[in-house]
């Protein structure tokens, strides 16, 4: 009896550890075929591709897609760093983090000879700060900071960020939780750049934001469009995909390109430096750069289309939100990383702003 007990205990411990090991050893299995890749380890947010696009790629090439997800860009970088640029074959993330990824040597240069459809990319979204020579990345969707509002419920005409401070909008604005975007909005109203490193200017923006606090009803990253559609809020500063969803559900909504200037961000794909299946990654990139495939992706994703050739394939219903207006002025600025001191100032004014809303 005694011995059985001890045995059971030890067995249970070993068994559970073995089960664990069994699961993880799968990872190593598929590294033998470098030239004839049969697998692609895709690492990005969930829901970035319609299922049929992934299925068709597998059907066409025989490459199985192994889709892993991260929540924040920062989580991705931390994991990629731990894996020393390995494990994953293709990562899609935001512009500012890619700059750091490249600086840390965690990305490899693209072999453009393998990318027949490379020329389809809209040049507006190329040669940006994170990859000035276009050596490492291929853009996959752009977000543009706009204001969306319901003209039936808002008494004023909103044309820029400054209008958000209007007293008639008390407790009726919903914003996303990205502090560089929201603090940046105040900076823009003060006529500054998003990326100023001047602490006094950031603090001034913080003061300005505190005045906005009474108008803010909520800060939320996910499904903000729902609140606009149900009348919980009447004005929203939200992600582009949310704007697209909101506008599709309620065509009455007005989208404003703020008069103070436009901020935008780009999501882009890159291949990590020690990717186990770089060939498969190139094949996949080339596949999603095809105009028809690309159009499908962007209609699904709801971000601005970064593929010039795909624009004609985008259905009429979506065209207005996924492509820029033809008379669009190029007074645009991207949000970039700032130094540690400026970053901390941003974090601090943001916390103060949030506490002020709670009151």
Partner 1 sequence: MIKRAFECFRQLNINCVAFLAVLPLFVFTFMFVIGPLIYMLVLSFLQRAEVWGIVNKFTFKNYMDIFEPVYLKTFIESFKLAITTTILIMIIGYPFGYFMAKLDAKWKKRMMLLIFIPFWTSSLIRLYGWIIIFRANGILDKLLMALNITEEPLKLLYTYPAVVVGMIYVLLPFMIFSVYSSAEKLDWSLVEAARDLGASSMQAFFTISLKLTLPGLLSGVVLTFIPSMGLFFIADILGGNKVVLVGNLIQEQLMKAHNWPFAAALSVVLMILTSVMIYIYRRISNVKELEGLV
Partner 2 sequence: MKNNTRLANIYLGFILALMYLPIIIVIVYSFNSSKISSVWGGFSFKWYKELLRDKSMFDAVVNSLILASTSSILAAIIGTLAAVGMPKVNLPGKGVVEYLSTLPIMIPEIILGMVFLTYFSLIRLPFGMLTLVIAHTSFCIPYVYMLVKARLVGIDKSLAEAAKDLGASEIRVFFDITLPLILPAILSGMLLSFAMSLDDVVISIFVTGVNTNTLPIKIYTQLRTGVTPKINALSTLMLGANLLICLLSVWIGKQGSHHKEYLEMEGN
Q: Which residues bind partner 1 (CB under 8 A)?
A: 2, 6, 9, 13, 72, 74-75, 77, 100, 103-104, 174, 177-180, 217-220, 222-223, 226, 230-232, 337, 339-340, 343-344, 346-348, 350-352, 354-355, 357-358
- For 301, counting Cβ atoms within 10 Å of its Cβ (0-12 exposed, 13-18 middle, 19+ buried), the class is buried
60/222 with CB nearer partner 1: 222
Cross-strand bridge partners of residue 66: 41
Each residue 291-330 as x (binds partner 2 by CB under 8 A) or -, in order, gives ----------xx----------------------------
Q: Is residue 226 a contact residue for partner 2 (CB under 8 A)? A: yes
Q: Which does 87 bind (CB under 5 to 8 A by kind): partner 2, partner 1, none?
A: partner 2
Stretch that binds partner 2, among 5-13, 109-117, 310-318, 336-344 (CB under 8 A): 5-13
Q: Is residue 172 a contact residue for partner 2 (CB under 8 A)? A: no
Stretch that binds partner 2, among 4-12, 131-139, 280-288, 346-354 (CB under 8 A): 4-12
Three-state SS sequence of the chain: CHHHHHHHHHHHHHHHHHHHHHHHHHHHHCCCCCCCCCEEEEEECCCCCCHHHHHHHHHHHCCEEEEEECCCHHHHHHHHHHCCCCCCCEEEEEHHHHHHHHHCCCEECCCHHHCHHHHHECHHHCCCCCCCCCCCEEEEEEEECCEEECCCCCCCCCCCHHHHHCHHHCCCEEECCCHHHHHHHHHHHCCCCCCCCCHHHHHHHHHHHHHHHHHEEEECCCCHHHHHHCCCCCEEECCHHHHHHHHHHCCCCEEECCCCCEEEEEEEEEEECCCCCHHHHHHHHHHHHCHHHHHHHHHHHCCECCEHHHHHHCCHHHHHHHCCCCCCCCCEEECCCCCHHHHHHHHHHHHHHHHHHHC
Q: Which does 103 bind (CB under 5 to 8 A by kind): partner 2, partner 1, none?
A: partner 1
Please select the residue that binds partner 2; options are 136, 161, 239, 350, rule is CB under 8 A.
Answer: 239
Q: Is residue 16 a contact residue for partner 2 (CB under 8 A)? A: yes
Please select the residue that binds partner 2; options are 104, 221, 312, 344, rule is CB under 8 A.
Answer: 221
Q: Which does 28 bind (CB under 5 to 8 A by kind): partner 2, partner 1, none?
A: partner 2
Query: CA-CA distances (angstroms) from residue 348 to 97, 161, 351?
Result: 21, 22, 5
79/112 with CB nearer partner 2: 79
Q: Which does 156 bind (CB under 5 to 8 A by kind): partner 1, partner 2, none?
A: none
Q: Which does 47 bind (CB under 5 to 8 A by kind): partner 1, partner 2, none?
A: partner 2
Q: Is residue 35 a contact residue for partner 2 (CB under 8 A)? A: no
21/340 with CB nearer partner 2: 21
Cross-strand bridge partners of residue 304: 142
Q: Which does 348 bind (CB under 5 to 8 A by kind): partner 2, partner 1, none?
A: partner 1
Rg (CA), the chain: 23
Half-sphere exposure of 122 (CA within 13 A, CB side): 22
Q: Which does 355 bind (CB under 5 to 8 A by kind): partner 1, partner 2, none?
A: partner 1
Q: Which does 352 bind (CB under 5 to 8 A by kind): partner 2, partner 1, none?
A: partner 1
**Nearest distance, CB of residue 332 and partner 2, angstroms:** 21
User: By C-alpha distance, which of 87, 65, 66 is closest to 76?
Assistant: 87
69/203 with CB nearer partner 2: 69
**Nearest distance, CB of residue 254 and partner 2, angstroms:** 18
Q: Evaluate whether 204 touches 348 at the Cβ level (below 8 Å).
A: no
Which residues are at the interface with partner 2 (CB under 8 A)?
Answer: 1-2, 5, 9, 12-13, 16-17, 19-28, 41, 45-48, 51, 55, 66-71, 75, 78-79, 82-83, 87-88, 221-223, 225-227, 229-230, 239, 241-242, 245, 249, 301-302
């Amino acid at each position: 009896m005694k011995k059985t007990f001890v045995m059971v205990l030890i067995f249970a411990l070993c068994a559970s550890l073995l089960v664990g090991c069994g699961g993880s050893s799968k990872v190593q299995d598929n590294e033998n075929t470098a030239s004839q890749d049969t697998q692609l380890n895709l690492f990005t947010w969930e829901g970035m591709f319609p299922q049929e696009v992934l299925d068709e790629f597998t059907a066409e090439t025989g490459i199985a897609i192994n889709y892993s997800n991260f929540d924040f860009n920062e989580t991705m970088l931390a994991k990629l760093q731990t894996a020393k640029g390995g494990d994953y074959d293709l990562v899609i993330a935001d512009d500012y983090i890619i700059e750091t990824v490249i600086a840390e040597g965690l990305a490899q240069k693209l072999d453009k000879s393998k990318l027949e459809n490379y020329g389809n990319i809209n040049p507006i979204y190329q040669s940006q700060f994170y990859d000035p020579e276009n050596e490492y990345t291929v853009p996959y969707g752009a977000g543009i900071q706009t204001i969306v509002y319901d003209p039936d419920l808002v008494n004023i005409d909103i044309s820029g960020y400054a209008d958000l401070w209007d007293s008639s909008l008390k407790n009726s604005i919903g914003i996303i939780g990205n502090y560089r975007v929201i603090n940046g909005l105040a900076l823009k109203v003060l006529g500054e750049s998003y990326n100023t490193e001047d602490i006094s200017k950031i603090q001034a923006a913080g003061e300005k934001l505190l005045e906005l606090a009474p108008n803010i009803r909520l800060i939320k990253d996910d499904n903000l469009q729902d609140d606009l559609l149900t009348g919980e809020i009447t004005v929203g500063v939200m992600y582009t995909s949310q704007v697209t969803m909101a506008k599709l559900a309620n065509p009455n909504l007005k989208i404003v390109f703020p008069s103070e200037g436009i901020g935008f961000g780009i999501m882009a794909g890159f291949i990590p430096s020690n990717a186990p299946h770089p060939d498969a990654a190139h094949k996949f990139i080339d596949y999603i750069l095809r105009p028809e495939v690309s159009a499908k992706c962007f209609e699904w994703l709801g971000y601005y289309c970064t593929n010039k050739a795909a624009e004609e394939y985008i259905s009429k219903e979506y065209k207005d939100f996924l492509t820029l207006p033809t008379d669009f002025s190029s007074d645009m600025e991207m949000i970039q990383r700032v130094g540690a001191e400026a970053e901390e100032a941003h974090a601090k004014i943001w916390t103060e702003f949030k506490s002020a809303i709670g009151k």
